[in-house]
Chains A and B, each alone.
Chain A
Amino acid sequence: MSCMQTIYDYGLRSLGIGQRLLPKEDFTLCEQVVLIGSGLIWNVYFGVIALITGFFLATAVALGKGSANPWLRKPSEWFIFVFRGSPLFIQFFFAYFLFLSLKGVSPIFSPFTAAWLGALIVLFLNTAAYSGEIFYGALRSIPKGDVDAADAYGFSGVPRFRRIIWPTMLRLAWPAYTNEAIFLFHATTLVFFSGFPAWQQRGDALYYANYFADKTFNPFVPYPILAGYFVLLTLALIGLFGLINRRLNRHLPQEARRKIRLRLNIIR
């Protein structure tokens, strides 16, 4: 079987398109590369959607934690503590079984027990808590002069936040937020190992890599392939976030621009 045929059969296998049965024996290198790459679709899906939705909640949580009103501050602090203080792995399990028992109460919850929604919600809350803490730190280190100047120009309330505070917060937080995004993508590999079932063997990249390693009892091929994919994904992310970083810092003199320093990579 040629490699083109394999791509045709398994390229979109993780979405349930193409060949139904996974290869059983005589695995070629091409099959492993294609199938693991096909699983990567799920990692990108979880990562991108959780990152985008989490961004907004993170801003809200950061503002809440920085607020003077205890009714806003306490819940935000607890939200951040709970999601940053416990392992993501346990959060996945807990959420899965929670949704499972809620399903018994009302059938509305049945989509939540599937990975595409349930795991997405956990990742969304988790990344919101981590980035919320980053944004909160940035919010506290906004130069006082910037805010004073905004006051002097007659900015207040929402316009002041939107035009002055928020862009500065993003600018300060961006290097740390880049690292957070990379973590998030790495964390998506946990989804199918934590209760959420891979329906009809539609799993993510690690799921397939693990499948091959189990079947061949040879970890030295699938895991390096997986690692290669993730290095590429990480590089793409760094490129994208670097562009945004350039735009956020475009008004600064060339030397003062903050380079993104990479600090890979820790499990949560």
Chain B
Amino acid sequence: MGMYLSFGTVILLLAITAPAALAFGFGGAMAARSRVGPLRWLGKGYIAVVRGVPDIAFFLFFVIALDQAFEWLRHKTLCPDWDQPIRQGNDFVVCQAAKLPLSSSPQWVHEVYGFTIAVLTFAIVFGAFAANVFYGAMRAVPHGQLETAEAYGMTRRQIFRRILVPQMWVYALPGLSNVWMVLIKATPLLFLLGVEDIVYWAREMGGTANPRFTDYPHGDWRVWYFLALLVFYLGLTRISERVLDRLMTRLTHGQATTGGEAQRREAQ
């Protein structure tokens, strides 16, 4: 049963992470474009650092780092009269009440917490990629459009909301679809973050024995399970390609680009 649910876990992760990464990316791009110096450096630094390091290292790093950050924050607020240092040699010690999740909480809380951390990690890493795409797309919007808006007396904020953002998408979509494809292919890394995802189940169910209960009546079937996963991912890629193609056609409609021009000619 958990096996089939885990396919849902992957889809759920994609469904939550994609908007979250878009939000992170949008924020990052806006910060990188900002006229305030420190904010701009923050945005550009975020994009540069996350994109420059092998991502799997980031996945391993963020899980522990975020976990410790949350526990440390809770530790500061919940136990103000704690006098021992937090890092004691090789140990990271916070008071009992600050432990996340609480050791008394049921199993599903632990799982949800693990999943949330994973989603946050994915969103941070892929947010940087999306931020880069958005940053480029915002600069790709023809300057004449913005100047016209200015001539009509719009304020900076109005230009951003009414002119820049609606026109940006068509330039951003090719890059975003790349990020999406990569996001799909990054989901098996959930396994490394300790979530019981499809890789975990493929290993478990395919093996000859399971430490939790009895032996399976079949031999080593892990090859077949992983073959099924391979096909699952190929299918996911194929479907996304189709959908993104359609979306691109829709978005190009009426835009001042060669694609939009071609559509206009065709319609005539």
Supposing A89-B188, A206-B57, A230-B53 touch, asked if A97 and B226 sit within 8 A by C-beta, the answer is yes
- For A94, the chain B residues whose CB sits under 8 A away are 223, 226-227, 229-230
Whether the pair A217, B91 counts as a contact (CB closer than 8 A) is: yes
Judge whether A267 and B60 touch: CB under 8 Å: no
A127-183 residues with Cβ-Cβ distance < 8 A to B are: none
New A-B pairs, 4, CB < 8 Å, besides A94-B223, A217-B90, A219-B65: A25-B90, A219-B68, A227-B57, A266-B178
The answer to whether A189 touches B51 (Cβ under 8 A) is: no
Does B182 count as interface, using CB distance less than 8 angstroms? yes
A228 (CB) vs chain B CBs: closest residue:
B53
Query: Given A97-B206, A218-B92 in contact, is the A265-B54 Cβ separation under 8 Å?
Result: yes
Cβ of A226 < 8 Å from any Cβ of B? yes
> B102 an interface residue at 8 Å Cβ cutoff?
no
Q: Are A85 and B61 in contact (CB under 8 A)?
A: no
Distance of A139 from chain B, by nearest CB (Å)? 21
B199-256 interface (Cβ within 8 A of A): 199, 202-203, 206, 220, 222-223, 226-227, 229-230, 233-234, 237-238
Q: A189 touches which one: B56, B68, B92, B186 (CB < 8 A)?
A: B56
A264-B206 contact given A85-B234, A217-B90, CB 8 Å threshold: no
A-contacting residues of B (Cβ < 8 Å)? 51-57, 60-61, 64-65, 68, 87, 90-92, 129, 178-179, 182, 184-189, 191-192, 199, 202-203, 206, 220, 222-223, 226-227, 229-230, 233-234, 237-238
Q: Which residue of A lies closest to B199 (CB)?
A: A93
Chain A residues engaging chain B, CB cutoff 8 angstroms:
25, 27, 81-82, 85-91, 93-94, 97-98, 100-101, 104, 186, 189-190, 193, 206, 209-210, 213, 215-220, 223, 226-227, 230-231, 234, 264-268
With A86-B233, A93-B202 in contact, do A267 and B182 touch (Cβ < 8 Å)? yes
The CB with the most chain A CB atoms within 10 A, among B56, B129, B199, is that of B56
A89: min CB distance to chain B, Å: 4
Could you list 30 A-B pairs, sorted by A, with CB under 8 Å? A85-B238, A86-B230, A86-B234, A90-B188, A90-B233, A91-B230, A93-B229, A94-B226, A94-B229, A97-B206, A97-B220, A97-B222, A186-B54, A193-B192, A206-B56, A213-B61, A216-B90, A217-B90, A217-B91, A220-B65, A223-B60, A227-B53, A230-B54, A231-B53, A264-B51, A264-B52, A265-B55, A267-B55, A267-B182, A268-B182
Interface centre among A81, A82, A91, A97 (most CB of B within 10 A): A97
Chain B residues near A216 (CB, 8 Å)?
90
Q: Are A87 and B186 in contact (CB under 8 A)?
A: yes
**Cβ-defined partner of A82 (8 Å) among B185, B220, B234:** B234
Are A267 and B185 closer than 8 Å at their CB atoms?
yes
Do B57 and A90 have beta carbons less than 8 Å apart? no
B57 touching A226 by the CB < 8 A rule? Answer: yes
Shortest Cβ gap from A121 to chain B (Å): 16
Partner of A101, one of B56, B92, B186, B220: B220
Measured between beta carbons, the chain A residues less than 8 angstroms from B57 are 189, 206, 209, 223, 226-227, 230
Q: Are A213 and B229 in contact (CB under 8 A)?
A: no
Q: CA separation between A268 and B87, bound complex, in Å? A: 36
Complex interface: chain A residues within 8 A of B55 (CB): 186, 265-267
A104 vs B223: C-alpha distance when bound (angstroms) = 13
Q: Given the known A-B contacts A217-B92, A218-B90, A227-B57, are A89 and B189 also in contact in the complex, defined by CB atoms under 8 Å?
A: yes
